[in-house]
Amino acid sequence: MPIVGPIKETNVPIVYDSDSRGLGGPSDMNGPQIGITAYSEPSDNLHLQINVEFALPSTRYEVFLVAGPSHALASGFIGVGVLTTNGAGAGVGTFTVPHATLLTAPFGAGYRTDHIDMLRAAGDLTAGFLVTGAVNYFVCSQREKGGADHPGIAAFEAHKGVVGKADPAGAHPEAR
């Protein structure tokens, strides 16, 4: 029986897109599945729960929310946090992108289809290139009445990520 009513969380596969050694093939958002990203929109914020199972062991990945559904259509990005894998290549991270950030360029109000890139650093494919595609969500032009900020926002604000004008796999990032 199908579930009727609002969907509170969506799960999207994470794939090993590419790296400097040819693992995963070309940077086309298609490769072996290595985890799951769950996302939801509590209090008008975008909440991301990333669970990687088979990335490089003991590696630190910068997590980027990228405006646009694919690398070729990317119109900018912002760093949202860091995910570190253990000795077996597994890692879990929880990140919240505040509503105010989602309203600003390159994002904006309305229905969005964006993606998530995970790299050692913007432009650095040496640790591999992990991707979550088709993150579909809605950004209200105003916060709901009484909409409180999610507790993860303090961690987001403290993270000194990077922003860029295209996709972090080939963009020219700028310090924030």
User: What's residue 107's pLDDT?
Assistant: 95
Residue 172 lies in a domain: no
Q: Classify residue 170: in a domain, yes or no.
A: no
pLDDT band at 169 (very low <50, low <70, confident <90, very high): confident
What is each CA distance from 85 to 22, 93, 125, 135, 158, in whole angstroms?
21, 10, 16, 22, 21
The model's pLDDT over 102-152, given as tens digits with 9 standing for 90+, comes to 999 999 999 999 999 999 888 887 777 899 988 999 999 886 555 555 555
Residue 73 included in any domain = yes
Give the pLDDT band (50/70/90) at residue 175. very low
Q: Is residue 167 part of a domain?
A: no
- How many domains does the chain divide into? 1
Inside any domain, residue 176: no
Q: Examine residue 16 and state whether it is found in any structural domain, yes or no.
A: yes
Distance CA 107, CA 67 (A): 6
Residue 173 lies in a domain: no
Question: Could you tell me the pLDDT band of residue 159, with boundaries at 50, 70 and 90?
Answer: low
Range of the domain at 154: 10-162
Identify whether 72 is part of a domain.
Answer: yes
Confidence of residue 57 (pLDDT cuts 50, 70, 90): very high
Whichever domain contains 96, its CATH number is 2.60.40
> Which of the residue ranges 15-29, 49-63, 156-170 would you say has the lowest mean pLDDT?
156-170
